[in-house]
Structure 1
Amino acid sequence: MPLVSLADVLQPALSDGYAVAGLVTLGWEDMHAYIAAAEAEDVPVILQAGPSCRAHTPLPILGKMFRHLAENASVPVVAHLDHGYTMEECREALESGFTSLMFDGSRKPLSQNIDETAAIAEMAHDAAISCEGEIGFVGYADGEKSAGTDPDEAATFARQTRVDAMAISVGNVHLQQDKEGGLDEPRIRAIEAVTDIPLVIHGGSGVPVTQRTALARGSAICKFNIGTELRMAFGAALRIAVNADPGRFDRVQILKDTHDPLVAATRKVLRAFKGE
């Protein structure tokens, strides 16, 4: 199945009451496992190349990897640039075959964020692909603190940028390893009341699973980004594989042992976003 755009998978999710997982990739092993899990659950999936992934593997290579997986998959696949910080980076992703660009101007003043996001959304739409923007700032566990999304600013941002999806800050935090927090549902409802585009939660690993499911089925949140939770599952599987045989040194054989555990962990994540 060929790659599809972000709008192609989020608009049906918005209409039919479910969410799509944006799965943060770091290499071939996790990408391959994510596709296998999505096929097993028969759901679309968004493969995401974030800053740490791009620091390890160049965008043109990632684009070819995503395209190869999509063309051989039985479910819709989106190739998504996560946290693009410049026009140049977003353009490179577009030219590398990505079908969705997420521009992160959330650290910038509102007017600058709107102007720059609008320019990237226009570039994306001219190429028949999608754009995600961010309003409010989603902080990091043990790092930068969040700044919650203002509903009135969100309405202005959505209207003036014409993005296909809008990432919001409503109690979510990047790189959170536990699920002891929770999202600010009154703020989500206030944002929903003034805009009609699909909403995105970054830092979805820190959101309790029951809340993920409830919001996927009963809100405009149509995309949850999941990274830390699955990186932890991969790390645990890799540790077991390495320690199982101290004499084994072939990394291909070692990495093969991470596949089934990561598929199982990913399937559990994907099930929480399905509609009723």
Structure 2
Amino acid sequence: MTAAPLTEVLDWATRQRCAVAGLVVLGWEDARAFVEAADVTGLPVILQAGPGCRRYMPVQVLGKMFRHLADETRVPVVCHIDHAYTVEECAAGIEHGFTSVMIDGSALEIGANIEITARVAEIARRAGVSVEGEVGVVGYANGRPSAVTSPADAHRFAAESGADALAISVGNVHLQTEKSDGIDFEALRHVEAVTRLPLVLHGGSGIPPHVRQRLARETGVKKFNIGTELRMAFGAALRTSLATHHGVFDRNQLLAPTIPVLREAACGLLRELGPEAAGTEQ
């Protein structure tokens, strides 16, 4: 299967009354595990290269790696740049094979946010690439505080930016290691009332599974970004590998046991967010 734009899988999720997982990639092992999980479940997946990943590995390499993995599986795989802050970052992602880019103008006032998103959307349209934007501020655990998305700003952004998906802040927080019932459903309903764009929740690791499933089935949230809980699974598996394989110094041997653990965790997430008949052929 070839790599798919974000719009393709979000349209599918809307029709199926479910959501798609945007899984944060930091290297080969997790990217491979996530695509294997998509193949096992028969459900689409979004591979996300965020700022940390891009600092570690060049976009040119990531694009080829994501595309290779997409070509090896039977389901749609979105190759996504997450949290780009400049037009140039998005353009580089598009040039090197990514099928979706997220331009994060959430720290800007709404007019400037719309302007930079529209510039990215113009470039992306010519390449058949999807664009995700953000309105409101999704904060970080023990870091930058959140600012709930303004419905008025969301309405204007949806009408003027050219974005295909809208990330919002309604109680979701980045980098949470523990689950919290913090989603403000009333704030979410206010945003849903003013736009039909598929909605995205960053900080999906901090949302309990039953709440994620309810959001996927009953609301306009069609994409969840999930990284922290998968990094925790990776770290635990790696520590076990190091403790078990005394005298082994080959990094490939030490990292190999993390792949099945990550694959199992990703399978669970894809099925949790997917259609009620998840795991069947789509």
Could you say which TM-score interval applies, normalised by the shorter chain?
over 0.9
- The aligned length equals 276
TM-align CA RMSD = 0.8
Distance (whole Å) between structure 2 residues aligned to residue 147 and residue 182 of structure 1: 14
Equivalent pair of 1:182/1:211 in contact (CA under 8 Å): no
Report the secondary structure of 2:273's partner residue: coil
Equivalent pair of 2:177/2:205 in contact (CA under 8 Å): yes
Equivalent pair of 2:166/2:198 in contact (CA under 8 Å): yes
Aligned to 2:129: 129
Equivalent pair of 1:135/1:149 in contact (CA under 8 Å): yes
> Structure 1, residues 181-238: CA drift from partner, whole Å, max 9, x if none?
3311111111111110100000000001101001101111000000000000000000
Report the secondary structure of 2:138's partner residue: coil
Report the secondary structure of 1:125's partner residue: helix
How many Å apart are 1:275 and its aligned residue? 1.9
Aligned to 1:118: 118
Superposition map of 1:1-276 within 5 A: 1-276=1-276
Structure 1 vs Structure 2: percent identity of aligned residues? 53
Q: Runs of 4+ in structure 1 displaced over 4 angstroms?
A: none
Distance (whole Å) between structure 2 residues aligned to residue 264 and residue 217 of structure 1: 22
> Structure 1, residues 68-122: CA drift from partner, whole Å, max 9, x if none?
0001111100000000010111110000000001000000111100111111111
Which amino acid letter does the alignment assign opposite residue 100 of structure 2?
Answer: S
> Structure 1, residues 128-181: CA drift from partner, whole Å, max 9, x if none?
110000000100001000001011110110110021000000000000001023
Q: TM-score, normalised by structure 1?
A: 0.99
Unaligned runs of 5+ residues in structure 1 are none
Which amino acid letter does the alignment assign opposite residue 82 of structure 2?
Answer: D
Distance (whole Å) between structure 1 residues aligned to residue 263 and residue 128 of structure 2: 31
Equivalent pair of 1:26/1:49 in contact (CA under 8 Å): yes
Equivalent pair of 1:179/1:205 in contact (CA under 8 Å): yes
Distance (whole Å) between structure 2 residues aligned to residue 181 and residue 142 of structure 1: 17
How many Å apart are 1:124 and its aligned residue? 0.7
How many Å apart are 1:262 and its aligned residue? 1.1
Distance (whole Å) between structure 1 residues aligned to residue 180 and residue 19 of structure 2: 21
Report the secondary structure of 1:78's partner residue: strand
Report the secondary structure of 1:195's partner residue: coil
How many Å apart are 1:245 and its aligned residue? 2.1
Distance (whole Å) between structure 2 residues aligned to residue 100 and residue 274 of structure 1: 20
Equivalent pair of 2:245/2:254 in contact (CA under 8 Å): no
Report the secondary structure of 2:24's partner residue: strand
Distance (whole Å) between structure 2 residues aligned to residue 21 and residue 233 of structure 1: 16
Report the secondary structure of 1:272's partner residue: helix
Equivalent pair of 1:182/1:208 in contact (CA under 8 Å): no
> Structure 1, residues 4-43: CA drift from partner, whole Å, max 9, x if none?
1000100121122010000000000000000111111110
Q: TM-score, normalised by structure 2?
A: 0.96
